[in-house]
Amino acid sequence: DQQVKQNSPSLSVQEGRISILNCDYTNSMFDYFLWYKKYPAEGPTFLISISSIKDKNEDGRFTVFLNKSAKHLSLHIVPSQPGDSAVYFCAATDFGNEKLTFGTGTRLTIIP
Amino acid sequence: DAGITQSPRYKITETGRQVTLMCHQTWSHSYMFWYRQDLGHGLRLIYYSAAADITDKGEVSDGYVVSRSKTENFPLTLESATRSQTSVYFCASSPGGGTEAFFGQGTRLTVV
C-alpha cells in the first residue's frame, strides 16, 4: 500500500520555465511533508518542507504547496535551471514519528 | 570528516553470505535509519533507531538485522544475502523533533 505517491516517473522542462512536481498521500495522519533531491551516486539531500498548518512554503526558487483536503502537495521550481536535473522524492511523516515515508520519485530533466 | 558516512560504497557478495554495511555519523543525532532504494519503489525503510540500544523494524525488515551499541554507529547486516536484496542502501540520521533527515552517500550492493 503506497501511502505517498508520485505518479509521474519523469518530467522534462525547458530551462527558465516552471517545473511542477506532484505528490499525493493517503494517510490522513501525515502532518509534515518534505521534498528531497537526489543526484546520481549521491544520497538524497533535503530541499524544502511544509507543515500541515501551512498551505505554502517558499525558499528562493522553490515553493511547496499543500492542499490538505485533496491530500496533495506540489513543488514548484521557478525558474528551472540545468542543475535542477535530478530525481525528486516527496516524503511525509506524522508528528512525533521520525520515520519518513517516501514516494517513488520523479526524474526531472531540464532542457537547455 | 563531519557528517554521515557509509562503507563500503560498493559491494558484491554471493547468495547466502552474511554481509554488513556500516554507517557512522558525527553529529550525535539520536535517530538513525536504513533505507533501500529500488526502481519503482522509491526509498523504503528497513530499520530505524531512536537512540543507542533502541531499534525497531521498518517496512521491509525481513532478512536484515541491526544493532546500535553506540550513538554514532548503526550497522546493517544481511544474515544470508539473497538476490532480492540487490539494491542501493542509504543510511540517514536526524536529531529528531520534526527536522529533516540527513543521508549518507549510499552503498550499492549486488548479490550474485
Could you tell me how far CA B102 lies from the centroid of its own chain? 13
First to last CA, chain B: 33
Q: In the structure grid, which three cell numbers stand for residue B37, read together?
A: 532504494
pLDDT at site A96: 76
Model confidence over A14-70: pLDDT tens digits? 999 999 999 999 999 999 999 999 999 999 999 999 999 999 999 999 999 999 999
CA distance B82 to chain A (A): 23
* Contact flag A99-B48 (C-beta cutoff 8 Å): yes
pLDDT at site B40: 85
CA distance B24 to chain A (A): 14
CB B35 within 8 A of CB B92: yes
Residues in chain A with CB shorter than 8 Å from the CB of B103 are 36, 43-45
Q: Which residue numbers of A have CB closer than 8 Å to B's CBs? A: 4, 6, 32, 34, 36, 41-46, 49, 89, 91, 93, 95, 98-105
Query: Using CA atoms, how far apart are residues A58 and A66, in angstroms rounded to an integer?
Result: 12
Query: Which residue of chain A is at minimal alpha-carbon distance from B90?
Result: A43
Number of C-beta neighbours around residue A43 at 10 A: 20
pLDDT at site A107: 97
Query: Which residue of chain A is at minimal alpha-carbon distance from B94?
Result: A98
pLDDT at site B102: 95
Residues for chain B: how many in total? 112
Low-confidence residues of chain B: pLDDT under 70: 1-2
* Contact flag B100-A44 (C-beta cutoff 8 Å): no
Candidates B85, B91, B108, B105; CA nearest to B17 is: B85
